A = this chain, B = another copy of it.
Amino acid sequence: MLYTSESLEILIDELTKFPGIGRKTAQRLALYILKQPKEEVEKLVRAIIDVKEKIKYCSICYNITESDPCPICSSPKRDKTTICVVEEPMDVLAIEKTSEYNGLYHVLGGVLNPLEGIGPEDLKVKELIHRISSGGVNEVIIALNPSVEGETTSIYIANLIKPFGVKVTRIARGLPIGTALEYADTATIVRAIENRTPM
Contact = CB atoms under 8 A, between A and B. Distances in A.
The secondary-structure label for the interface of chain A is helix
A49 interface: yes
Interface string A61-103: 0001110000110010000000000001110110010000000
A2 to B, nearest CB: 5
Interface in A1-51: 2-8, 10-11, 13-15, 17-21, 25, 27-34, 38, 40-41, 43-45, 47-51
17 contacts: A3-B71, A3-B92, A4-B89, A5-B54, A7-B47, A7-B54, A7-B55, A7-B66, A8-B51, A14-B44, A14-B47, A18-B29, A21-B29, A28-B90, A31-B90, A34-B64, A44-B48
A8 B55 contact: yes
Stoichiometry (number of copies): 2
Contacts of A8: 51, 55, 64
